[in-house]
Amino acid sequence: MVSEQAYATTEPVRLRSLIWTVFVPVVLYGIGSGAAAPMYALRALDLGASAGVAGIVIALNGLGMVLADLPAGRIVARIGERWAIALGSGLGLVGVLCAIFAPHAGVLAVGMLLNGTASAVWGLARQSYIVAVVPRAGRGRAFSTLAGASRLGSFCGPFIGAGLVYAMGPSGALWLQFTTTVLSGAAMLAIRSADDGDADSSDHTLRSVVVENRRVLGTLGSAALLMGGARAARTALLPLWAAHIGISAAATSLIFGISGAVDVLLSYPGGILLDRYGSRATGVPSMLLFAAGFATLPLTSSSLELAGAAVLLGLANGVSNGIIMTVGADVAPPGQRAEFLGAWRLTHDIGMFAGPIAVGLISAATVLGASALALAAAASAGAIAMHRWFPSAHRAPLTASHLPDMD
């Protein structure tokens, strides 16, 4: 991977030059994942899983990301972003096929693990590539555009997938994800190679990178973890609650689409807030919105009421546009960038794994509504963590010396 210093000696990359090689493929990837996300829970129910087991199966997507984040950093450092994308796409295709043809929930669980692994490699590669080719002054817009592209795809996905779900059941959306994964992976293979210049990377082990940056990962990373939990739990809990109150799969897909529309509309304003006022002013309100959305969910009993709660959660996701990627990019040490970003993503993805697990375990032990209330409390804790540790202006370089003590 080419170092940031190496790119500084060449003409800066314009965002428009990344449209076809980065942003459009991300839209395609988002279309497939957005259409399929609520259908995995329904697929688990179709295979005979209970609501609690379905939540745990969906959480394995997060476990796959957690297990792959650190190795993904080393993979990107070794083979570069371009070939890491190819590897991630291949793993994702196998995962989707496992889910489509699963004879029981166990095979679906394997598919979810592979999907999570693919997401980790894909996400790390594209984030590392943006950090490498876009100067610091343009990263806010770049990550805002990247997140907006993903959310645009996620917004379109449920609407596109609704017709396929109506005709084919939940597997219709999974076939859409298979197709978009092929197209997006092929498109991103055209990115400029960035795999031959980060000489310092091989001097650091994954363990040493984590140890050297443990203070940053323990403070800012705790807030990233709680945000990841809120984001992933939203995807797991909404379709389970929809099924609980008797809403059809097609209607659930449309509700996800409405939530995604709000998400997309808030993406660019969220990026402006991030640029102007910093990650603290953006992160705290987003976590409070997550808390409000989860707290409202147990009060819903109809499609319209559920759509209202979904809109609150969409607002939360939109306001937080690009925040985790931008903070991680600003903190990343130049000579250890790919490995550090893998560790940084790990903090967020542990939350992505824990959120649906919490939904499954709490639902199995009590009732589904209790999961929503627990998630509201966790999101409130995330707001407190971001207020304490996230900077008020992310454009200034961040180091461990700038952080308050964890005590």
Q: What is the predicted pLDDT for the residue at 396?
A: 46
Residue 95 lies in a domain: yes
Q: Is it the case that residue 342 has pLDDT exceeding 90?
A: no
Indicate if the pLDDT at residue 196 is higher than 70.
no
Buried b (16+ CB within 10 A) or exposed e, 10-34: eeebebeebeebbbbbbbbbbbbbb
Does the pLDDT at position 264 exceed 50? yes
| 376 band by pLDDT with thresholds 50, 70 and 90 | very high
Assess whether pLDDT exceeds 60 at residue 187: yes
| DSSP codes of every residue in 283-299 | HHHHHHHHHHHHHHGGG
Q: How many CB atoms lie within 10 A of CB 182?
A: 16
- Give the CATH number for residue 257: 1.20.1250.20
Count how many domains the chain has. 1
Q: Are 61 and 112 in contact (CB under 8 A)?
A: yes
Q: What is the pLDDT of residue 198?
A: 46
**Res. 2: pLDDT tops 70:** no
- The secondary structure of residue 193, as a DSSP letter, is P
Query: Mean pLDDT across the stretch 287-306?
Result: 94
pLDDT at 329 over 50: yes
In a domain, 207, yes or no: no
Question: Residue 155 and residue 310: Cα distance in Å, rounded?
Answer: 13
When pLDDT is cut at 50, 70 and 90, the band that residue 13 belongs to is low
pLDDT, tens only, 140-163? 678 878 888 887 887 788 888 888
For residues 407 and 403, what is the distance between their CA atoms, to the nearest angstrom? 12
Summarised one tens digit per residue, pLDDT across range 70-97 is 888 888 888 888 888 899 999 999 999 9
**Matching residue, tokens 């592209």:** 149
pLDDT in tens, 302-317: 999 999 999 999 999 8
Inter-residue contact 227 to 291 (CB < 8 Å) = no
**Cα 281 to Cα 288: distance, rounded to the nearest angstrom:** 12
pTM of the predicted model as reported, rounded to 2 decimal places: 0.76
pLDDT (0 to 100) of residue 9: 36
Give the model's confidence band at 375: pLDDT under 50 very low, under 70 low, under 90 confident, else very high: very high
**Do 177 and 32 meet the contact criterion of CB atoms below 8 Å apart?**
yes
Q: Answer yes or no: is pLDDT of 401 > 80.
A: no
Domain residue limits at 122: 8-199+213-399
Q: What is the mean pLDDT of residues 175-201?
A: 74
Q: How far apart are CA 114 and CA 112, in angstroms?
A: 5
Mean pLDDT, rounded, for 295-302: 94
Alpha helices in 297-397 (DSSP H): 303-319, 323-331, 337-365, 368-389
Write out pLDDT tens, residues 219-230. 899 999 999 999
In the structure, what pLDDT confidence band is assigned to residue 284 with cuts at 50, 70 and 90?
Answer: very high
The confidence band for 137, taking pLDDT boundaries of 50, 70 and 90, is low
Confidence category of residue 16, pLDDT binned at 50, 70, 90: confident
Q: How many CB atoms lie within 10 A of CB 294?
A: 27
Least confident of 107-111, 172-176, 392-396: 392-396
Q: Is the pLDDT of residue 364 over 50?
A: yes
Distances (CA, A) of 67 to 72, 141, 326, 345, 356: 9, 30, 23, 11, 16
Q: Does any domain span residue 404?
A: no
Greater confidence (97 vs 126) lies with: 97
